[in-house]
Amino acid sequence: MKPIIKELENIKKDGGLNIEGRKLPLEVYLCADWKFLALVLGLNAANSEYFCIWCLARKCERSNLNINWNEFLRTLDKLRGGKCLDHLCTKRHKHGVKEATILSSTIFSLDRIILDELHQMLRIMDLLMNFVSEYAVRQKRAHLLTQICACIGVEYKQIESGQKGKKAEWSPLDGNQHRVLLLMFDKEERLDKILAGHKKLQTMKEIWKLYREINTYLHSEDPLHDNCSIKKVSQYEQKVGHFVNLVRETLGKKKVTPYLHALVAHVPSMIRMHRNIAQFSCSSQELKHFNQNRVFNNQVQPQRAAEQILQVEHRRYWNICHPDAFQGDLGKKRRRNGECSPMDNYKKKQRI
């Protein structure tokens, strides 16, 4: 990333980006999954003692909602921060910093490093679905869970590992499938059928409803579109605090993940500063990466992978720009060959 950082530094010195004689002001933000952010900042992984990218929270303090972590923030110039809550802490304590960051403080600051709303949703939904699927397997309702998911257009089934003594794994879910489950899984008594007999069924339904409201708020175009912005963020803080408390009581303290900590401790500040963190989402890049991986794994000649990926993307873009090309005899021939127009894909999504 050093050439990219150097180019950004030059743009910063010039006061903006020059395009055809016009100077456009440029503001630099960084949004990615937790692993990438930790790597570029030179911090330890999310499962380490000092895990947080933005503050000096320890692993044992992730589930503590009574601490104001804004008093223990890191800075890009001083990622080690100051004194943490550990009574043995000294000025020489590294606080999870293992090497120097490659980011320049002249371009970036930690308040412009944003939590990705897509990855937080994926990891938290994985947490909830793991709880549901483990109970379904114990109660011999795995087939019922697969059927219920199929009814709402989500393929979720057990895959045998083929190794003796190793448990079967559940098929991975993408972002759209997670969103469908979040919106529809707790309705029409679907969750009741899977968790029937569980003493925390009602609590789990409340957790599901709360997280749906939280995710809808984070994913909205402009969470602070009216004059009640302070009130809205305060309501969000109360709701997400209650949500994390329920997760801690229902699933255990160890299930309060770094994403849940950031959702409570740092996302409210991000919303106040940037109004809308969904605008920084990595969903489009993740979709592009998923499509490119699918092309790479399906193609015959690995040495031509980059060329074939570009060809496929060009054809898809051409199809979007020329929807009439799927009309008439040529359209029938293309459909026989397995091609779909953008309208066909839209209709499939509507049926789901």
- Mean local confidence (pLDDT), 15-32: 84
Whole-model pTM: value is 0.81
Shortest CA distance to 40 belongs to which of 83, 8, 74, 2? 2
Instruction: Please report, to the nearest 10 degrees, the dihedral formed by the alpha carbons of residues 248, 250, 255, 259 taken in order.
Output: -60
| Tens digits of residue pLDDT in 265-294 | 999 999 888 888 888 888 888 878 777 777
Q: How far is CA 198 from CA 64, 153, 158, 254, 297, in A?
A: 27, 26, 22, 20, 42
Residue 232 burial by CB count (10 A; 0-12/13-18/19+): exposed, middle or buried?
A: middle
| Tens digits of residue pLDDT in 45-81 | 999 999 999 999 999 999 888 899 988 899 888 888 8
Q: How far is CA 110 from the centre of its chain?
A: 19
Helix (H, G, I), strand (E, B) or coil at 130: helix
In which residue are the tokens 């490119």 written? 292
